[in-house]
């Protein structure tokens, strides 16, 4: 049993009830990702209103949180920041942002921003000062620079993020960097946001977050912090960093591969490891985001309900990547522009559910039904999940507390099956039929029971 004294920081109470709609803003509003002119020379384009027009869609779907990708001034894709205190002019200005936050507040929508604090763009003024003044620059202490390998007039040899020369790594041992991140976080929390997704948190020493986050919480005790972590000892990272949560890539991969490869044993393994994590903290769960192939492409449209059923009925703070609920497809590729297919522009406003094309309507209906189910069972947020049955093409999961339960049954085969119903007495979603202690599922069928 986990020692209570060793538990990581407790997340804010409101997080138990939040479910995010995750948006990549630059793509969503149709902003140029590779602009011809630098942002300082770019006229402000008031595109954030485009996103505001979709907030009622978010609410109607059953979500109550808006998770925004990068919105600060950057040179290209948003992750090469050049000013953390300025809205990217391709999106608008601070007044546009304030209107968006106010519109969210009117609808009871929480707002999460993407904080890129591992690195900045090479065009950031603080780094440009190094290029102009060398080690004597006032901002030299912000970066990890190899001055012994530098001569005036040459490119400054600084550490970069994962080989990307345009992404210059910050020095996380520096007090000045800690002060900068605290200032950025509190500035936007003051403007009404609820928390931060910490980009590339796995590349930042946990001790850095442990220096920064308590300072932010002193002023904003209800703020939420979730880190992008793709490998490592998640529980240890949360404990050392004081972050509330981490992205659950292992569960995402187990859902994707387990379904796509018709290997429910892989899914079962991921679920078991996920439940172990939940004893320490509540992970940020997803089946799609701005960095991965769309779930409809990864598993096929017929199996999106199966993936979504798992997301809705296992512990976590779930997010839906904008467009997945409409059946969007797109493959992530490792090349220049390889993200474009999964970061498309959205229409000026959403279509009414009854006006959607058949494939989009099916995806929307499944998402809405399962998100409604999750709202009815908010206790799932931190509940344990057991594997009741598993073979290559079928699985039954039981998520429960001492007083509540939901059972998720999936059939990936082209033939009907009967699976153990784990004492369920009713079908809450899907197409299962209960009889004699078992649930019958048709070919590629699924059901959530209680």
Read off the pLDDT of residues 308-357 as tens digits, 9 standing for 90 and up.
999 999 999 999 999 999 999 999 999 888 999 999 999 999 999 999 99
Q: How far apart are the first and last CA of the chain?
A: 28
**pLDDT category of residue 41 using cuts at 50, 70 and 90:** low
Nearest CA-CA partner of 296 in 368, 340, 229, 362 = 362
Q: What percent of the chain has pLDDT over 70?
A: 97
Tokens matching residue 200 = 């590339």
Element containing residue 326 per DSSP (H, E): none
**Can you list the alpha helix ranges (DSSP code H) found in 53-147?**
55-61, 94-106, 125-133
Between the alpha carbon of residue 250 and those of residues 61, 165, 298, the distances in Å are 26, 28, 15
Sign of CA dihedral 38, 40, 42, 47: positive
Fold category of 4-383 in CATH? TIM Barrel (3.20.20)
How far is it, in rounded angstroms, from Cα 252 to Cα 52?
29
Cβ pair 60, 107 in contact under 8 A: no
Q: What is the DSSP letter of 200?
A: T
Q: Which residues pair with 145 in a beta bridge?
A: 158
CA angle, corner 156, sides to 152 and 160, nearest 5? 175
Per-residue model confidence as pLDDT tens digits over 58-76? 999 999 999 999 999 999 9
Element containing residue 177 per DSSP (H, E): helix 175-190
Percent helix, strand and coil across the chain, each to the nearest 5: 40, 20, 40
How far is it, in rounded angstroms, from Cα 397 to Cα 421?
9
- How many residues in total does the chain contain? 450
Per-residue model confidence as pLDDT tens digits over 390-422? 999 999 999 999 999 999 999 999 999 999 999
pTM: 0.96
Q: What is the pLDDT of residue 274?
A: 98
Q: What is the pLDDT of residue 153?
A: 83
Tokens matching residue 218 = 């002193």
**350 CB contacts (<8 Å, ≥6 apart)?**
53, 54, 56, 57
Q: What is the pLDDT of residue 1?
A: 37
Cβ pair 301, 307 in contact under 8 A: no
Cβ pair 182, 85 in contact under 8 A: no
Per-residue exposure over 404-413, b if at least 16 CB sit within 10 Å of its own CB, e if not? ebbbbbbbbe
Average pLDDT in the chain: 95
């Amino acid at each position: 049993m986990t020692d209570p004294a060793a538990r990581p920081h407790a997340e804010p109470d409101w997080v138990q009830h939040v479910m995010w709609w995750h948006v990549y803003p630059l793509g969503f509003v149709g902003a140029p990702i590779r602009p011809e002119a630098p942002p300082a020379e770019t006229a402000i384009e008031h595109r954030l209103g485009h996103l505001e027009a979709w907030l009622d869609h978010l609410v109607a779907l059953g979500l109550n949180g808006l998770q925004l990708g990068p919105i600060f001034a950057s040179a290209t894709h948003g992750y090469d920041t050049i000013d953390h205190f300025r809205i990217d002019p391709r999106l608008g200005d601070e007044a546009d942002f304030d209107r968006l936050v106010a519109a969210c507040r009117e609808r009871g929508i929480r707002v999460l921003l993407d904080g890129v604090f591992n690195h900045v763009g090479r065009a950031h003024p603080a780094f440009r000062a190094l290029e102009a003044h060398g080690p004597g620059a006032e901002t030299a202490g912000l970066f990890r620079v190899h001055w012994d390998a530098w001569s005036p007039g040459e490119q400054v040899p600084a550490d970069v993020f994962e080989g990307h020369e345009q992404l210059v790594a910050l020095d996380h041992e520096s007090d000045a960097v800690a002060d900068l991140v605290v200032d950025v976080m509190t500035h936007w929390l003051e403007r009404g946001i609820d928390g931060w997704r910490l980009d590339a948190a796995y590349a930042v020493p946990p001790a850095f977050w442990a220096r920064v986050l308590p300072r932010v919480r002193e002023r904003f005790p209800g703020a939420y912090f979730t880190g992008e972590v793709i490998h490592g000892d998640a529980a240890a990272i949360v404990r050392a960093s004081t972050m509330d949560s981490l992205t659950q890539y292992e569960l995402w991969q187990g859902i994707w591969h387990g379904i796509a490869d018709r290997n429910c044993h892989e899914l079962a393994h991921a679920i078991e490891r996920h439940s172990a994590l939940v004893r320490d903290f509540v992970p940020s769960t997803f089946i799609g985001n701005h960095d991965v192939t769309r779930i409809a492409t990864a598993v096929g449209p017929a199996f999106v309900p199966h993936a979504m059923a798992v997301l809705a009925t296992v512990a976590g703070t779930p997010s839906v990547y904008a467009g997945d609920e409409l059946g969007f497809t797109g493959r992530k590729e490792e090349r220049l522009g390889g993200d474009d297919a999964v970061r498309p522009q959205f229409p000026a406003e959403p279509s009414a559910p009854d006006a959607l094309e058949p494939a989009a309507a099916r995806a929307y209906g499944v998402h809405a039904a399962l998100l409604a189910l999750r709202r009815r069972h908010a206790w799932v947020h931190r509940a344990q999940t057991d594997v009741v049955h598993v073979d290559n093409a079928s699985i039954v999961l039981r998520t429960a507390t001492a007083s509540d339960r939901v059972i998720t049954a999936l059939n990936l085969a082209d033939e009907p099956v009967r699976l153990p119903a784990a004492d369920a007495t009713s079908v809450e979603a899907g197409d299962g039929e209960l009889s004699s202690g078992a649930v019958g599922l048709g070919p590629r069928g699924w059901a959530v029971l209680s």
